[in-house]
Amino acid sequence: MLVTGIQYPVSSISLMSTPSVIIKNLSKSYGKVEAISDISLTVDKGEIFGCIGPDGAGKTTLFRILVTLLVPDNGSASVEGYDVVSDFKKIRKIVGYMPGRFSLYQDLSVEENLKFFASSFKTTIEENYYLIEDIYKQIEPFKKRLAGKLSGGMKQKLALSCALIHKPEILFLDEPTTGVDAVSRKEFWDMLKRLKEWGITIMVSTPYMDEAALCDRVALMQDGEIMSINTPAGIINAHKKPLASVRTNNMFKLVEDLLSMNDCHSAYRFGASVHFTPKSDQLKTEVLLQNLRKLGHNDIEVAPISPEIEDCFMELMTIA
Amino acid sequence: MEDYIIRVENLTKKFGSFTANDNLSFFVRKGEVFGFLGANGAGKTTAIRILCGLLKPTSGNIEVAGYDVSRQSNKVKKNIGYMSQKFSLYEDMTIKENFRFYGGIYGMSGKAIREKTEHYLHKLGLEKEKNTVISSLPLGWKQKLAFSVAIMHDPRIIFLDEPTGGVDPITRRQFWEMIYEAAASGITVFVTTHYMDEAEYCQRVSIMVDGRIEALNTPEKLKEQFRVDSMEDVFIKLARGQQ
Amino acid sequence: MKGFIIKEFYHIFRDVRTMVILFGMPVVQVLIFGFAISTEIKDAEIAILDYSRDNMSLELSNKIISSDYFILSENLEDESQIEKVFQAGKVKEVIIFGDHFARNLEKEQSASIQIIADASDPNTANLLVNYTTGIIRNYMAEKMGEQGMPIEIKTEYKMLFNPELKSVFMFIPGTITVLLMLVSAMMTSISIAREKELGTMEVLLVSPLKPIQIVLGKVIPYVVLSFVNAITILLLAFFVFGMPVQGSVILLLAESLLFIIMALALGIFISTVSNSQQTAMMLSMFALMLPTILLSGFIFPIENMPEVLQWLCNLMPTKWFIIIVKDIMLKGVGLAHIWQETLIIIGMTILFIGLSIKKFKIRLE
């Protein structure tokens, strides 16, 4: 890690005084559609907090309220102690925001984009260069290229650089990895980890369940409500039902056949296998094997596994 | 000779000095679920547009559903269906109107359209919603409906361009059940996705890097070949190796 | 602010289409209007009412008719027919010889001819009258040469339906007005709407930039461009059509600046109610361009409109600006003469600035 002497990483210093974000009973509707309803959560200083959920879960609405672009119908929210409605000007000075769509000027070059965003925050690229150095270095060879001509991964890096250029206290990243390929997503999360070391609080949303594991804490969201808030490990521990990974020679028919069984709570395809949850509290491997053989499956593998976040998410959806 | 429904031989597409597709060759079997993966900007979209007859290749022999895509693009278009996350249904029209419109485009008779509409709405359990405007439906329903509309004219191949982006995990899986059902009925499925677990659902997967196909095989064989446990790692190994 | 303005100029200069519209249009439009309106006249149909029917009146009539410009449609018997032939529409000009044309010329060295033209198409009317008087002047010169004595044929003309010939040479003031409106209002409204569409507006709003800074940053480049455009048109008018500015150029430019600011405020106002470039474009087209062209007196003389429309015309800032430009350019008047129009535009400017500041959203709703 490069330490410039101007600024030290503060991850070691405890800043657990007041939370960065406090949300109480927040609601917002567009006409009849309730985008978020009665959401409460807190985000601690310096943590990476993930809002995980599909489109329509209310993530973007929540983020827009927090960056003062929308006014909530009910409830209250504050960012670094400032109220999102009455102190919106103060919040705008201290947040970095990356909206869902890559909001760069396509007809400006990489460098021009960065310069522009620096100037709109009354700062210069040089002043906070240490903060974006890691990220910007990767796109610097293309600094004369127009942003519209960059690949998805590079656009994402530029957008993040632009959101960071004024050294915000807290970053709001709304679906930064949506539509981005797996490699760029991985790189992006590595960058977030490094930013965390500078003491910046990061609130990030994503529809990819596997990214939950990379956050300190997550809120699983669906239809405008929070189904669960916990650490990734906490969410997995809260999942009490037994779970098995099942594979046979006929993967196409497997889900259908598992669902037809009496003792089936759920059966979901999961990569190369099917995740099966029985209705009973115990997984009866033998019975399962027998039943599958009866239905014509061979080469059957059944292995008890611990759930992933996605298993938990689907279970929570089913309960709700 | 195997029964191939898509034959691509030496497909090259250049935009000026930029080569978007560099000498691609691959074959897709009838009724197969074929995954077409690649990093952003690897040239997937260009290749799909060529296969659908929307773009002319710079060179190469490409046959889709038995027709040459550069000379018989109209016949190709009649035999394929297309659906993407971005463009699917008209938001300001009702479910029924969307079915009627798309059926009409493919020259289906009024009776056939009505039958198909009934059939799919029954299957999705949406009979009561047939006069509901699309924009007021949840995303998951929209995607399932869009898929139904895209296959209502019984195409021989359906192209799905990131069909499940942003969809909740349960709906995503229900969507894949629909894909399998379509494949079982003989429709060839050509699908792109950024969800690497979905790559495992395909019978064969090709991975594009910088305009070239760097790997093409069953998910099993690919994982073996690269000595990793998941398609995600296969993908990362391939795409990283190029950078 | 500086960064903002630089960025805005990048946008403008990198978009070839915008550049073509911005700089190609004034040239093309002025040239088209200029040349289309002043095309040569050929075989225009005229009628002659000759009360004298003497050798000289017939000689002059023949001279006029035998030129390539005119064809005799009919000979009239008395004045009551004039209105009828005009209303029939074919005849564009009537030439009237008074009693004793030849005798007056010989005895008093002076006679008069009246020319009445259908000025509902003012440009054509103006040309017809010019050509006719040209022929008459020629005839006069010939006669003077033959007879060696000074004679004078007084021509009086009357423009029917549009007595003051309201839109002759209107195309320069009109074009300046339309273009300033287009560039200022349409371009700003579109460029703000584009930021909304791309999502960059979200980032700008969340930054500490004040709304007024965003607005000014958007507006200043277009003020500059509009100015360049106005000057281009004036130069074209001078060098291509020989149309000098009679009054103070500085006053003209100052008035233009005022009008530009008004149009920009209007553009921002439009952008506050439109979320996409398309809506902004449509709103500008229908809310600005059409009324600007149709209800400003640019093409259709306001005097000929029904009263309701005339009343509507008063609400069009363009009407007042066209008057200002025309008065300065053609009549050479000073501020003393046009202060009322100027005040009206100042009033409208304040109104639109107020409205757009009030409507400019600091949030997304």
pLDDT band at A1 (very low <50, low <70, confident <90, very high): very low
Contact yes or no for A11/A193 (Cβ under 8 A): no
Regarding predicted confidence, which is higher, B221 or C157?
B221
Interface check for B45 against chain A (CB to CB < 8 A): the answer is: no
Determine the 3-state secondary structure of A22 from DSSP.
strand
Percent of chain B with pLDDT over 90: 54
With a cut of 70, say whether residue A116 has pLDDT above it.
Answer: yes
Are C9 and A126 a contacting pair, CB within 8 Å?
no
Closest CA to A145 of A112, A118, A181, A187: A112
Distance of CA C137 to the CA centre of its chain: 30
> Residue A108's pLDDT is what?
92
Residue with tokens 């030290």: A8
pLDDT score recorded for residue A14: 45
| Nearest residue in A to C200, CA atom | A103
Q: How many CB atoms lie within 10 A of CB C321?
A: 29
Highest mean pLDDT: which range of A6-10, A179-183, A283-287: A283-287
**What 3-state DSSP class applies to C335?**
helix
CATH pick for A21-232 out of 3.40.50.20, 3.40.50.300, 3.90.1150.10, 3.40.50.720: 3.40.50.300
**Which candidate, A29, A41, A119, A18, places its Cα nearest to that of A72?**
A29
Judge contact between A179 and B194, C-beta under 8 A: yes
Among A7-11, A276-280, A289-293, C361-365, name the one with the lowest average pLDDT.
A7-11
Say if CB A207 and CB B139 are below 8 A apart. Answer: no
B139 at the A interface (CB within 8 A)?
yes
Tokens of C300: 């259709």
* CATH code 3.30.70 region(s) in chain A: 244-304
Each residue of A41-97: pLDDT tens digit?
999 999 999 999 998 899 999 999 999 999 999 999 999 999 999 999 999 999 999
The tokens describing C126, both together, are 């103006």
Torsion of CA A130, A131, A137, A138, to 10 degrees: 160
Give, in degrees to the nearest 5, the angle at Cα A203 between A202 and A206.
125
Which pLDDT value is given to residue C343?
93
User: Does this complex have an ipTM over 0.90?
Assistant: no
Residues of chain C short of pLDDT 70, as ranges, are 33-41, 120-123, 160-170, 241-244, 299, 301, 303-304, 365
Residue A93 DSSP code: H
Q: Which residues of C touch A70 (CB under 8 A)?
A: 363-365
Among A214-223, B29-38, B209-218, C314-323, where is mean pLDDT lowest?
C314-323
Is B194 near chain A, with CB under 8 Å?
yes
Specify whether the CB–CB gap between C68 and C115 falls below 8 A. Answer: no
Instruction: Encode burial over B33-43: b for 16+ CB neighbours within 10 A, e otherwise.
Output: bbbbbbbbbbb
Q: Which of C303, C299, C304, C342 is nearest to C323 (CA)?
A: C342
Interchain proximity A56–B138, CB inside 8 Å: yes
Residue C133: the pLDDT is 84
Burial label for A231, CB within 10 Å (0-12, 13-18, 19+), is middle
Q: What is the pLDDT of residue A8?
A: 44
Q: Which helix (H) or strand (E) holds A110?
A: helix A110-120
- pLDDT band for position A33 (cuts 50, 70, 90): confident
Q: Are B47 and B11 in contact (CB under 8 A)?
A: yes
Contacts of B168 in chain A (CB under 8 A): 53-54, 57, 222, 317
Length of chain B: 243
| Contact A294/C at CB under 8 A | no
* pLDDT surpasses 70 at B122: yes
- Does C363 contact chain A (CB < 8 Å)? yes
d(CA B152, CA B159): 14
Q: Inform me whether the C-beta atom of residue C209 falls under 8 Å from chain A C-beta atoms.
A: yes
pLDDT at C169 (0 to 100): 61
The C-alpha of A307 sits at a distance from chain C's nearest C-alpha, in angstroms, of 37
Task: Return the pLDDT at A45.
Answer: 93
- The pLDDT confidence band at residue A10, using thresholds 50, 70 and 90, is very low
| pLDDT value at A134 more than 90 | no
In this complex, whether A and B touch, counting 3 or more CB pairs under 8 angstroms, is: yes
H or E element at residue B48:
helix B44-51
In what helix (H) or strand (E) does residue B215 lie, and over which residues does it extend?
Answer: strand B212-217
Per-residue model confidence (pLDDT) at position C201:
83
CB C5 within 8 A of CB C220: yes
Residue ranges of chain A that CATH labels 3.40.50.300: 21-232
Q: Which of A180, A184, A317 sits opposite B168 (nearest CB)?
A: A317
**Class in CATH terms, C44-160:** alpha beta
Rg value, chain C, Cα: 26
Indicate the pLDDT class of residue B74, thresholds 50, 70 and 90. Answer: confident
Greater pLDDT, A228 or B86: A228
Which positions in chain B touch A272 (Cβ < 8 Å)? Answer: 200, 219-220
- Domains in chain C: boundaries: 2-36+167-359, 44-160
| Residue to test with chain A: of B173, B230, B232, most A Cβ within 10 A | B173
Question: How far C199 CA lies from chain A's nearest CA (Å)?
Answer: 5
Could you read off the pLDDT of B153-200 as tens digits, one per residue?
999 999 998 888 888 999 999 999 999 999 999 999 999 988 888 999
For residue A102, what pLDDT band results from cuts at 50, 70 and 90?
low
Residues C150-207 have pLDDT tens digits of 777 787 777 766 555 544 466 777 878 888 887 788 888 888 888 888 878 888 888 7
CA distance A256 to A144: 54
Cβ contact (<8 Å) for B236 and A182? yes
User: For position C120, what pLDDT does the model report?
Assistant: 67
Domain boundary assignment for chain B: 89-154
Contact residues on chain B for A207, CB-CB shorter than 8 A: 165-167
Residues of chain B with C-beta less than 8 angstroms from the C-beta of A318:
170
Residues A199-218 have a mean pLDDT of: 94
Structure confidence at residue A11 as a pLDDT band (50, 70, 90): very low
* Type of residue numbered C287: A
Contact yes or no for C165/C121 (Cβ under 8 A): no
The three-class DSSP label of residue A173 is strand
Confidence of residue B87 (pLDDT cuts 50, 70, 90): low
Say what the pLDDT of residue C170 is: 62
CB contact under 8 A, C7 and A116: yes
Nearest-angstrom CA–CA distance, A136 and A186:
17
Residues of C in contact with A82 (CB under 8 A): none
Residues 6+ positions from C236 with CB-CB distance below 8 Å: C26, C27, C30, C31
C2 touches chain A (CB under 8 A): yes
Identity of the residue in B136, B177, B240 whose CB atom sits nearest the CB atom of A183? B240
Determine the residue of chain C that is closest to A146 in CA distance: C14
Q: Is C106 buried (19+), middle (13-18) or exposed (0-12) by CB count in 10 A?
A: middle
Q: What percent of chain A has pLDDT over 70?
A: 94
Cβ–Cβ gap C207/A117 under 8 Å: yes
Which amino acid belongs to residue C13? F
Predicted confidence band of residue A4 (pLDDT cuts 50, 70, 90) = very low
C204 touches chain A (CB under 8 A): yes
Using alpha carbons, select from A269, A69, A288, A62 the residue that is nearest to residue A175. Answer: A62
Contacts of A64 in chain C (CB under 8 A): 202, 364
| Distance (Å) from the alpha carbon of A62 to chain B's nearest alpha carbon | 17
Q: Please tell me the predicted confidence (pLDDT) of residue A3.
A: 40
In chain C, what residues touch A95 (CB-CB under 8 Å)?
206
| pLDDT value at residue A17 | 66
Calpha distance A320→B94 (Å, rounded)? 28
Q: Rounded to whole angstroms, how far apart are CA atoms A300 and A249?
A: 7
Q: Return d(Cα C258, Cα C242) in angstroms, integer.
A: 26
Written out in words, the top-level CATH class of the domain with range A244-304 is alpha beta
Residue B127 predicted with pLDDT over 80? yes
